A and B are shown apart, each in its own frame.
Chain A
Amino acid sequence: MSELLTALVVTCSITTVLALLLVIADSIINNYGEVTLRINEDRELKVEGGSSLLNTLKEQNVFIPSACGGRGSCGLCKLKVLEGAGDILPTESAWLTEDEKKNNIRLSCQVKVRNDMRLEIPEELLSVRQFKTRVVSMRDLTHDIKEVVLELEDPPEMEFIAGQFIQLEVPPYKLTDEPVYRAYSIASTPSSKKRIELEIRYVPNGICTTYVHKHMKEGDKVTINGPYGEFRLSDTQKEMICIAGGSGMAPIKSILLDMQEKKIRRKAQYFFGAKALRDLFLVDEMKKLESQLPDFRFIPALSGPDPSDNWKGETGLITKVVDSYIPNAAGMEAYLCGSPLMIDACVKLLKEKGMPEESIFYDKFA
């Protein structure tokens, strides 16, 4: 019995002493006090030093995209640090190109905040926020695509640009033990700041799509973060070709409705590819746009219509339809959204038709 007690006492006292030492060391050695982060020369954040730049910024509600959560294994959390980060660490160098090294690009998960720093963060990342939302309506657009409307609760409004996407957080459930995040384009327009619409297509066994299609119901609380993405209307006056398939409808719809609201008078054609009639949706709404926008045509096309569909419109793969409508694409701009296969085929076709690569904008739904 006494042997057991001595064992317990000795083990406990050794670990206690070590734990105490660690706590003391942490508060003395690891205490860097308050430091100032100067962002884009116009904004200053007062923060506690001692943890990584990535986590320090997260605590200040600045979310830098990162996939590995700060282990230095994804290389996504790159930021320009002009001053105060010290030399490039061996754990970073594998992720940085020579150009990036010269331009003071660093991995924010490896850089520690110890003193005042000067950083550059892209403006649009500064507006990325986490939002608590509530599902206010869900409806079936097709047999496998659902429209989900989320009402923002905290913060109550989101500023975004038509074409951008958000990340939806799926809480742990049958298919996942930890929260996962999936990106979905916003289908509503930026003028609707309190309510955003998503169009989500069911993928068998997809973690997020199964959650949305089989588990989510009206009234549920959902967390999202965003907005992200460079996909948006350019500020030229070139004629537009929009091509989308499936849930690729979402960002194109947002862009077109935004054009209507802002009275942007660009000539545009919108090719939408689906398999059969049951995969087509929002046709009436798009047809209505033809009369509301000055020069807009909506051309839905079915690649494999069912005989009972009585389809009188265009048939065949979307590339074939675009090919027959557009003799020469030089001088136009293209906005593509859909599966990687569709996008690759369309980019190839448009280039053959004389469109320069920098006039082709796309959002791949991988």
Chain B
Amino acid sequence: MSDFALYFSVFFAAVFTNNILLTNYLGMCSFLGASREIKTAAGLGTAVIFVMTVTSALNWVVYYKLLVPFNLTHLRFIIFIVVIAAFVQIAEMAIERLSRKLYAALGIFLPLITVNCAILGASLFMIIRSYGFGQSVAYGAGSGVGWAMAIMAMAGIREKMAKSRIPKGLEGAGIALIIAGIMALAFVGFNGITS
């Protein structure tokens, strides 16, 4: 398989068959918290794509160039978290300085996802699956796109649902979790695509 095909298959798998939100159930809190409006969901989704892609690359370098040579792979959890947090904060400052428009659309969501477990999850999965650098970036981007897609789909459903009558006990998080479950079932259908 050519490099490009390899990256593409990793990307595609991360978006559909191994959707980090719907098959691993990571990043649930912001998924439930910020999925009331498509506009907000799109902003948050874009922020996740951006941060996941870049932090996967950064963490790959830190892991294979620092932690592996020094035999410190067991420190990856704490190191990854620190790298992600620092990157998000610097990115927020830079975006705010460079473009007000981009900051309004994307920047204000950045602090919300510093502690999003899906971001850390993506970095950990790329290690577990022993991806190379290119694959890791593709995987990070794919996971981000998959997460963004899932939250936007959810927001679309919830916007429609605002008009429907939901049993009292299921309002809010209850019905959202049931919907997430059904969406996850649908995504399992993509498993057939992979050979």
Q: Is A30 an interface residue (CB 8 A)?
A: yes
Write the nearest CB–CB distance from A51 to chain B, whole angstroms.
12
Q: Is B185 an interface residue (CB 8 A)?
A: no
Do the beta carbons of A90 and B86 come within 8 Å of each other? no
Q: Dominant SS at the A interface?
A: helix
State which of B78, B86, B105, B108 has its C-beta within 8 Å of the C-beta of A22.
B86
Do the beta carbons of A6 and B43 come within 8 Å of each other? no
Do the beta carbons of B67 and A25 come within 8 Å of each other? no
Q: Is A264 an interface residue (CB 8 A)?
A: no
Contacts A14-B79, A87-B104, A112-B96 given; does A6 touch B90 at CB 8 Å: no
Query: Interface size for chain A: under 10, 10 to 19, 20 to 34, or 35 or more residues?
Result: 20 to 34
Whole-angstrom CA separation of A112 from B100 in the bound complex: 11
Do the beta carbons of A7 and B72 come within 8 Å of each other? yes
When distances are taken between beta carbons in the complex, the residues of chain A under 8 Å from B43 are 90
Q: Is A67 an interface residue (CB 8 A)?
A: no
When distances are taken between beta carbons in the complex, the residues of chain A under 8 Å from B90 are 21-22, 25, 29
Do the beta carbons of B67 and A10 come within 8 Å of each other? yes
Whole-angstrom CA separation of A87 from B83 in the bound complex: 31
Q: Is B94 an interface residue (CB 8 A)?
A: yes
Do the beta carbons of B40 and A11 come within 8 Å of each other? no
Do the beta carbons of B70 and A90 come within 8 Å of each other? no
Q: Is B179 an interface residue (CB 8 A)?
A: no
Contacts A10-B66, A10-B67, A14-B66 given; does A86 touch B86 at CB 8 Å: no
When distances are taken between beta carbons in the complex, the residues of chain B under 8 Å from A26 are 93
State which of A6, A25, A30 has its C-beta within 8 Å of the C-beta of B70.
A6
Interface residues of B in 69-112 (CB under 8 A from A): 70-72, 75, 78-79, 82-83, 86, 89-90, 93-94, 96-97, 100-101, 104-105, 108
Q: Is A330 an interface residue (CB 8 A)?
A: no
Do the beta carbons of B93 and A91 come within 8 Å of each other? no
State which of A11, A30, A90 has its C-beta within 8 Å of the C-beta of B93.
A30
Write the nearest CB–CB distance from B42 to chain A, whole angstroms.
10
When distances are taken between beta carbons in the complex, the residues of chain A under 8 Å from B66 are 10, 14
State which of A3, A11, A25, A90 has its C-beta within 8 Å of the C-beta of B78.
A11
Do the beta carbons of A29 and B79 come within 8 Å of each other? no
Q: Is A15 an interface residue (CB 8 A)?
A: yes
Binary per-residue interface labels of chain A (3-17) against chain B in the complex, 1 for a CB within 8 Å, 0 otherwise: 100110011001100
Q: Is A18 an interface residue (CB 8 A)?
A: yes
Nearest-CB residue, chain A, relative to B62: A14
State which of B40, B62, B67 has its C-beta within 8 Å of the C-beta of A90.
B40
Interface residues of A in 49-76 (CB under 8 A from B): none
Q: Is A89 an interface residue (CB 8 A)?
A: yes
When distances are taken between beta carbons in the complex, the residues of chain A under 8 Å from B70 are 6-7, 10
Binary per-residue interface labels of chain B (143-159) against chain A in the complex, 1 for a CB within 8 Å, 0 otherwise: 00000000000000000
Contacts A6-B70, A90-B43 given; does A14 touch B82 at CB 8 Å: yes
Do the beta carbons of A10 and B75 come within 8 Å of each other? yes
Those 6 A-B pairs whose CB atoms lie nearest each other, nearest first: A18-B86, A29-B93, A25-B90, A29-B97, A86-B100, A30-B93
